[in-house]
Structure 1
Amino acid sequence: MPWLTIAMLLLFGLLFVAAEVIFIPGTTIVGVVGFALLVVGVWMGYRDLGTPLGHYALVGVVLLAGLIVYVGLRPKNLARVALTSVNNASVDDVRRPDVAPGTVGHTLSALRPAGTVLFGTERREVVTRGEFVASGTQVRVLIIEHNRIVVAAA
């Protein structure tokens, strides 16, 4: 019956290594557990079944694990899990504001004290210094503080 235990250790070790290489690439606990199962299975093969069968188990494990790694790490298979697209998006930088102080716009919503203002064709979220400004009122940019546009009624 020790041959069944050894066979199950080797089978599950190979399955864990295959799962690590093919399905969840990276060094994770699944790969470490699979490698440990293979080592224990080969060691038990030498101990319980003798040297010739231990050699067969070792050669079989090395060949099958090598085949799994080869198939899993082929460029065609890696392309399925690798990020191949490039993100060319950009973000407006706070250090280079697109609305300069002194720019005039019209409120789209009431500013209580925050709301939306239309500067030309650009909508921006703005704040006042505490005063309320009705919708449709003309406002002027006072200052840009970090990521906030501060306005006042013009």
Structure 2
Amino acid sequence: MPWLTIGLLLLFGLLFIAVEVIFIPGTTIVGFVGFALLAVGVWMGYRDFGNEVGHYALLTVAVLASLIVYVGLRPKNLDKVALNTVNNATVRDVRRADVAPGTVGRTLSALRPAGTALFGDERREVVTRGEFVASGSDVRVLSIEQNRIVVATA
């Protein structure tokens, strides 16, 4: 019966290592448990069956664990869990606004004191200096202050 216990320890140890490397990389706890099961299984092989069986168990475990790590860490397998694309998108920064002071536009929403205005074909979030501006009114850009486009009625 000790051979069944040793075999199950080695089998579950290899399964835990495979789960750690292939299916849920980065958890480390599963890998440590798998390594501990392998170590106990090899140790029991030496203890219960002597050096010859212990050496075979150690060699088999080393080869199979190395194969699992090799298969799990191949670039083809890592592509499934790694980020491969680069995001080259940009954010429109109003500090480098393409709406110059003096530009005239039309409000798309009421400005109370913030809202949306249309300058050419471009929609922009704008603010007033505190006054209410009705929707559809013409507005003129007064300035760009920090990250806000300040407008007034034209």
Aligned residues of 2:95 and 2:144 also touching (Cα < 8 A): no
What is residue 32 of structure 2 aligned with on the other side?
32
Q: Show structure 1 runs of 5+ residues with no match.
A: none
Deviation at 1:94, TM superposition (A): 4.0
Whole-angstrom distance in 2 between the partners of 1:40 and 1:142? 76
1:5-154 alignment, distance < 5 Å:
5-26=5-26, 28-154=28-154
Deviation at 1:59, TM superposition (A): 0.7
Task: Give the share of equivalent positions with the same residue, in percent.
Answer: 81
Whole-angstrom distance in 1 between the partners of 2:69 and 2:28? 15
Task: Give the ranges of 4+ consecutive aligned residues of structure 1 lying more than 6 Å apart after TM superposition.
Answer: none
Pairwise CA RMSD of aligned residues?
1.9
Change over 3 Å in CA distance of 1:2–1:147 after alignment to 2: farther
Q: Show structure 2 runs of 5+ residues with no match.
A: none
1:89-112 deviations in Å (ceiling 9; x for gaps): 122234322222222211011111
Equivalent AA in structure 1 for residue 10 of structure 2: L
Aligned pairs, number? 154
Relative to the length of structure 2, the TM-score reads 0.87
Change over 3 Å in CA distance of 1:41–1:95 after alignment to 2: farther
1:87-134 deviations in Å (ceiling 9; x for gaps): 221222343222222222110111112211001110011122221100
Equivalent AA in structure 1 for residue 33 of structure 2: V
Deviation at 1:43, TM superposition (A): 1.9
Whole-angstrom distance in 2 between the partners of 1:29 and 1:94? 47
Deviation at 1:27, TM superposition (A): 5.9
Whole-angstrom distance in 2 between the partners of 1:40 and 1:146? 65
SS in 2 for 1:135: coil
